[in-house]
Structure 1
Amino acid sequence: MPVKYQQETAQITWEAAQALIEAVLKEGAAQKIAFSIAVMDAGGHLRAFGRADEAAFLTAEIACDKAWTACFFGQPTHIWNSLVQESHMAPLASHPRLMAVGGGYPIFYQGRLIGGLGVSGGTYEQDQEAAVKALSFTGFDKL
């Protein structure tokens, strides 16, 4: 039997990444929240980034780490808050990019993981809500 040497990977397009950023910024403007938004590709590399003028500088790094965490584990970041409290998972809490705070979501399209979205700037609930609305508005799979 021949060995398969490569696998096709699904990636988020720049256009779709920009649409997510615009949707989050619009939601932030409506709620008067200055968000930073990061979109990673399926490999965890930054695909697109947006930041409201008033967003605190640290929100940029946090948004990137939320997107990275969601992408690499294929799960929303808020679930990590309870997971890292379990003794067998606690060592992961020291990973420099693992963000165990709500606002990061994997991006699925037609059942395939194509990237990660990270939103930072509000409370974790506001970050989560903005991310979910943006994913829904742009037509990505619901989690």
Structure 2
Amino acid sequence: MQTKHYLTLSDAEFLLNTAYEYAIQNNFNVSIAVVDETGTLLAMKRMDGASPMTANLCFEKAKCSAMSRRPSKLFEDIIKGGQMGFLTMDSFSGMLEGGEPIMYEGQLVGAMGVSGVKSFEDAEIAQQAIEKFLAQIKV
């Protein structure tokens, strides 16, 4: 039998707060979502000044990343490459850069999605928060 790791609410709040602080330091107004390994929402935050549209987009990016176990940028690259045959309009919104899987000891434990600035900046915010989260676990 294997041990299954999972994100707690405290973990999700740490990720949200870390991403929030990074966004503030860089003058970004974004929405941030953290989901579990199934893509189910654990916690979400929309910063003052972030477009209402970003609230849904950050969740869709996180869900896409959790369900695929990959950064959502992979799908953005596929879309840019013209290989869109499997997409519907409903699934498209989560397939933009800014969704990042959270891996711990080889297991997917969740994902984080950010929306509100340029796609590569959305991803950077999520990556920074995930790196700090994983570093504090290993202490």
TM-score by length of 2: 0.87
Which residue is 1:25 aligned to?
Answer: 20
Matched AA of 1:59: T
Are positions 1:123 and 2:121 aligned together? no
What secondary structure does 1:93 align onto? Answer: coil
Q: How many residues align?
A: 135
Deviation at 1:109, TM superposition (A): 1.0
Deviation of 1:111 (Å): 1.0
The one of 3, 12, 16 equivalent to 2:7 is 12
Determine whether 1:82 maps to 2:77: yes
Asked if 1:97 is matched to 2:91, the reply is yes
Higher helix share: 2
Q: Deviations over 1:22-55 (max 9, x none)?
A: 0111011111111101111111110111111111
Aligned to 2:62: 67
For 1:62, the aligned partner's letter is L
**Based on CA coordinates, which of the two structures has the bigger radius of gyration?**
1
Q: Which moved more, 1:97-106 or 1:34-43?
A: 97-106
The residue number in structure 1 matching 2:127 is: 132
Render the CA deviation track for 1:11-31: whole Å, top value 9, x for unaligned: 211111111100111011111
Query: Structure 1 segments of 4 or more deviating over 6 A?
Result: none
CA RMSD for the aligned pairs? 2.2
**AA partner of residue 83 (structure 1):** I
Match of 1:71, as an amino acid?
A
- Tell me the secondary structure at the aligned position of residue 87 of structure 2: helix
Structure 1: tracts of 5 or more residues without a match: none
Identity of aligned residues (%): 27
TM-score normalised to structure 1 length: 0.85
